[in-house]
Structure 1
Amino acid sequence: MSTMRIIPSPYEPVEVPEVSLHEFLFGAGFGDRADAEAFVDGATGTAVTFAQLDGMVTRVAAALHERGLRKGDVVALFAPNSPAWVAVFHGVLRANGIVTSANSLYSPTELAHQLTDSGATTLVTVSPFLDRALPAAAQAGLSDADVLTLDPVEGRASLADLLASTAAAPPSEVLPSDTAVLPYSSGTTGLAKGVVLTHRNLVANLLQYTPMGRVDASSRILAVLPFFHIYGMTVMMNHGLHRRATVVTMPRFDLRDFLRVVSEYRVSRLYIAPPVAVALAKHPMVDEFDLSGVEGVFSGAAPLDAELGHAVGRRLDCVVLQGYGMTELSPVSHSMDERRPDDDLGGVGYGLPNVESRLVDPETGLDVGPGERGELWVRGPNVMAGYLNNPAATAATLDADGFLHTGDVATVDERGYFRIVDRVKELIKYKGYQVPPAELEALLLTHTAVADAAVIGVQDAEGEEVPKAFVVVQPGAALTAEDVMAYVAERIAPYKKVRVVEFIDAIPKSASGKILRKDLRAREQTPV
């Protein structure tokens, strides 16, 4: 009978207090940081201090309670990043409610699914999104009065109305085990699923992540990745609050705006996804701005190629780190340690405090040894409670021992340092060999004429699965399919060669930076 090979975190465990997220972040007050800027809108320059935010959160909670919100009711947030988003998010939690955060790019149908599935009773959005928000709300059975806006709209309740409430805030009724947020997983198979994250999950992950980086009251964090995604929500918004740092928000990524904000606000910490790293490493516009305030760049949400990361570090003269996580892990489970900047940037670092890992061969179900590939399984206080109203999906992901099966293939060395080498379900099987798309994508990005790339498996005329590369060419560069295939063939084992190339204007990606392989597969209607 096989035994588990549990890989513990190399860090001292953290003690997770039995409190709500609101109590954890706001309960002790803000001391000498009360009048410091907590959140700054990078687009307008509007700033909110910690004390002002605290007051806004209390007012929003009081107003929502006055409107009938009760413990366990769900409020959907469908809006781009702003200080107002933060105030409503924490106001809902302070009112004993639950936030479900919706992707800003959603169509009415996608939003309606999330509203219906989560049981949302209120939708908070912005006026430019009303053309999608109102039909979605109607489809989900919400009334027109259930749709509020962050900005003023004639005839519609807005944040300003909530802040004007003179009602008393309700007493806190939340237990640490209660649901705090319902983000929806990326839905690579079927419809997106609601991920049940408790107050304790979120508090735990903030404490687990803190030892891995140098974030304190002197830090200035740029939040361009969306708060609706758990990476933005935990690592930027809530961790910034926890560490009393200043967070500068951006509603969307635009390279010139991004560079302007980093320069103007002397941003010290950038949290990005790999597509932004490509721009930072390769785009000539970067040289037009003073980015000397940047001390650290942290990449997550998708694998960062080591060479690309080093190129960013050299260009910005800063530390570059990456970590690993998923929505179901609140989201961070593994991270490089800023105190150990010499670690291999091709890895994702160590298990966070309180995290236990296993690497299990997907075919045999047996734990593998150091250096061997296995599916990463994770256990810890940051692991989700389950998928909302979906016991079958929960049972397929969370086992009886409390380990979450990530679907990602990893290796670990003797020190406990992890590398993600691919997805279980994205491996291409060519003549029986396993071909990892991520490896080919990383190689393609080292070509000076390649701006971006993605790889999927497609069927050839013989019915064999072969690697196909989708390539975005750098502006002004010339590149042929033969050039791409030859470049890869010279640098890789023969069975891993790219055998089909398609040039494309942009690689489809989620808001968090993950390649949407299902969108690329949808382009493949006939065998090549």
Structure 2
Amino acid sequence: MSHLKILRGSCARQIVNCLYPHSKNCKRPKTLISWARSLATKTVPVLENNVLNSPWGEIQVGNETLTEHVFKDFELWADSPSLTCGVTGRSYDYGMMRMMIERCAKALAGHLRLAPGERVGLILPNIPEFAVLIHGAMRAGLVVTFANPLYTSDEMRRQFSDCNVKAIATIEMFMPVAQEVSKALKDYKGTIWVGGEDDKAKGIHGLRSLLMADHDADLPTLNCDDVCLIPYSSGTTGMPKGVMLTHKNLVSNIKQVQCPKMMKYAGEKGKGDVVLTVPPFFHIYGFNGILNYNLVLGYHLVSIPRFTPEDYVKCLVEYKPTTLFVVPSLLAFLATHPIVKKEHLQSVETIMVGAAPTTDSMLEKFLIKCEKTKDQIRLLQGYGMTESSPVTLMTPYMYPHSKVGSAGQLVPSTQARVVSLQDGAPLGPHVSGELLLRGPQVMKGYWNNEKATKETVDSEGWLHTGDVAYYDEDYYFYIVDRTKELIKVKGNQVSPTEIESVIMELPEVADVAVVGVPHSLAGEVPKAFVVLKHNKKLTEKQIYDLVAQKLTKYKHLEGGVVFLDAIPRNAAGKILRNELKVLGGKH
């Protein structure tokens, strides 16, 4: 920590300077070295009952906490930029970032008097201070839950109340929601305002003043098995549930996706690569798969708080990123939007696609746009769940072009089984069934929900994904369907149960079912099937407007509303959603 000690003497001046906009560029030449493709199709030992091991061996799990692991080598690149806001140019180098995290931890423990194990809620877009607050909280032994800032106050209140949040960190734009939600939280200790000033009467603490003050606090000794993050996920079905992830879960997954054998030259420390990303840090993919992944490597991460074509292109021009983290809809934007020119993409060497699969045809369109060949740009894809921290499958850095569209191979220290949907029998190659996964990245369980935990993770530690998949003779996996009820809207999970519960608030409604229907841009959108009580009337607009009032935009009923005489159900009363999907296509 020698760099920390050097910085402390003038920390107040440096924090003031760094909390105001400035920008830095980090340009370093690098050469892409070819790598033997044969490594990507190694023989995988198959154990009893068709259990597959990763072809990439094992990782050393270790006992580090997340913040220790992410910043363990920061002194090697202390003066290099870590995180930059692509809109304002506000940027922190690694030395400053690490110092701010330490001071944030002491402020949370000493000034706000948050005790180890208590929960902190983040309502933040992708800004550099996101890393300061989330790692500062974890360094203080606190547990973080984050939410989509565009959630309504009802959605936010449900999550933060369930998790028993004691403090919220946010920006001015979302302060009204934070203040409204805080009224419902028991023993609430204060709101942290990024970019704002103290307001003691309202219990508001400006982040800048918290970091500049010298707070006396003894930070706890942490255990790698401690829960440090509780993101919310609908799992395979039902309402969103808190996913308990430990330091060990998150650190293990970073090590798995940075395995040198699998990710040679894509995960090499100290190269100083510039990474442009849009996927939100308040999603497990954005937080662990992008933010932490790149901070460990000492890369320069550029992001923007809210996507606009103009801001994104500005970042391409100004920062010349070598790597892009995208979701399929963003790759489609790059490939087809007229604002994106081939010269904007000349620096790009690697594209990592998450949240949903992309296709070979979309990659072809992108390559045509930037006038590059498949050998000049690597397209990497993966698969995961919030419950697995998130990555379980990933394409190696070098792999055959015929495998584009695959979710990849098992990451190190991960096992898989594909089992029959009818009787649970193990299945071999090229036969579709439910995908089961096991590894050190699998969650500890659902927060205060033992029943749901047992339904998702069995007694042998297998995570039942609810996804239908098969693997080929080279042990590349392909996701072909979902047994789970979730609707995937632009990579966001939407729980039908959550929308149904809102619609059932209408006294005229007797029954309701919501399913996902295909959409050309979003992948899927929700569609509601409603049964009205006898002699009651409602319009499609009334139902749409209620959902729009209560839930965030991507949960709106863009697929429409259909009125039925009865919802199709099986003998046990379970909604036959596949029948509704067929019916939905006819309207």
Q: Which amino acid aligns with 1:377?
A: L
8 Å contact 1:223–1:237 — kept in the other structure? no
SS in 1 for 2:255: helix
8 Å contact 1:222–1:271 — kept in the other structure? yes
- The reply to whether residue 305 of structure 1 matches residue 359 of structure 2 is yes
Matched residue, 1:384: 443
> How much identity, in percent, do the aligned residues show?
34
Number of residues paired by the alignment? 454
Matched residue, 1:413: 472
Q: Which amino acid aligns with 1:30?
A: F
Give the C-alpha shift of residue 519 in structure 1: 4.0
The alignment's TM-score, normalised by the length of structure 1, stands at: 0.80
8 Å contact 2:123–2:168 — kept in the other structure? yes
Matched residue, 1:185: 233
d(CA) in 1 for partners of 2:448 and 2:182?
20
Change (3 A) 1:65 1:295: same
Q: Deviations over 1:350-393 (max 9, x none)?
A: 00000100101122111111000011110000001111011111
8 Å contact 2:378–2:398 — kept in the other structure? no
SS in 2 for 1:38: strand
Q: 2:86 aligns with which of 42, 53, 60?
A: 42
Q: Deviations over 1:88-128 (max 9, x none)?
A: 11100111111111111111011111111111111111111
- The reply to whether residue 230 of structure 1 matches residue 284 of structure 2 is yes
Q: Which amino acid aligns with 2:80?
A: A
Q: 2:194 aligns with which of 145, 150, 153?
A: 150
Change (3 A) 1:396 1:518: farther
Give the C-alpha shift of residue 142 in structure 1: 5.7
8 Å contact 1:271–1:297 — kept in the other structure? yes
Q: Deviations over 1:52-71 (max 9, x none)?
A: 01110010011111121111
Give the C-alpha shift of residue 219 in structure 1: 1.4
Q: 1:78 aligns with which of 99, 123, 139?
A: 123
> Mean alpha-carbon deviation: is it higher for 184-193 or for 220-229?
184-193
> Mean alpha-carbon deviation: is it higher for 37-46 or for 206-215?
206-215
Q: 1:524 aligns with which of 537, 562, 568?
A: 562
Matched residue, 2:167: 122
Return 5+ residue gaps in structure 2 as ranges: 1-46, 491-495, 497-513, 523-546, 548-552, 565-582
Q: Deviations over 1:154-213 (max 9, x none)?
A: 623111121022124523321111001011115784431110000000000000001344
SS in 2 for 1:290: helix
Change (3 A) 1:188 1:361: closer
d(CA) in 2 for partners of 1:424 and 1:274?
22
Q: 1:92 aligns with which of 129, 134, 137?
A: 137
8 Å contact 2:236–2:485 — kept in the other structure? no
> Mean alpha-carbon deviation: is it higher for 366-375 or for 276-285?
276-285
Return 5+ residue gaps in structure 1 as ranges: 428-436, 443-455, 457-464, 474-507, 509-514
Q: Which amino acid aligns with 2:90?
A: T
Q: 1:339 aligns with which of 389, 392, 398?
A: 398
Matched residue, 2:107: 63
8 Å contact 1:57–1:90 — kept in the other structure? yes
d(CA) in 1 for partners of 2:156 and 2:103?
27
d(CA) in 2 for partners of 1:386 and 1:86?
25
d(CA) in 1 for partners of 2:61 and 2:253?
9
Matched residue, 1:280: 334
- The reply to whether residue 354 of structure 1 matches residue 413 of structure 2 is yes
Q: Which amino acid aligns with 2:439?
A: G
Q: Which amino acid aligns with 2:354?
A: G
SS in 2 for 1:65: helix
d(CA) in 2 for partners of 1:209 and 1:29?
18
- The reply to whether residue 253 of structure 1 matches residue 307 of structure 2 is yes
Q: 2:177 aligns with which of 126, 132, 145?
A: 132
Q: Which amino acid aligns with 2:183?
A: A
8 Å contact 1:225–1:252 — kept in the other structure? no
Give the C-alpha shift of residue 149 in structure 1: 1.0
Give the C-alpha shift of residue 407 in structure 1: 0.9
- The reply to whether residue 270 of structure 1 matches residue 314 of structure 2 is no
8 Å contact 2:237–2:485 — kept in the other structure? no
Matched residue, 2:540: none
Matched residue, 2:511: none
Matched residue, 1:202: 250
Change (3 A) 1:187 1:203: closer
Change (3 A) 1:467 1:272: closer
SS in 2 for 1:285: coil
Q: Which amino acid aligns with 1:379?
A: R
Change (3 A) 1:387 1:359: same
d(CA) in 2 for partners of 1:58 and 1:169?
11
Change (3 A) 1:162 1:29: farther
8 Å contact 1:324–1:335 — kept in the other structure? yes
Change (3 A) 1:127 1:186: farther
- The reply to whether residue 52 of structure 1 matches residue 106 of structure 2 is no
d(CA) in 2 for partners of 1:70 and 1:242?
27
Matched residue, 1:241: 295
SS in 2 for 1:286: coil
Q: Deviations over 1:122-157 (max 9, x none)?
A: 1111111012111111123465x6111111146231
SS in 1 for 2:339: helix
Change (3 A) 1:287 1:203: same
SS in 2 for 1:338: coil
Q: Deviations over 1:330-366 (max 9, x none)?
A: 0000001112253511101100000100101122111
d(CA) in 2 for partners of 1:467 and 1:135?
32
> Mean alpha-carbon deviation: is it higher for 28-37 or for 84-93?
28-37
Change (3 A) 1:388 1:426: closer
d(CA) in 2 for partners of 1:9 and 1:468?
34
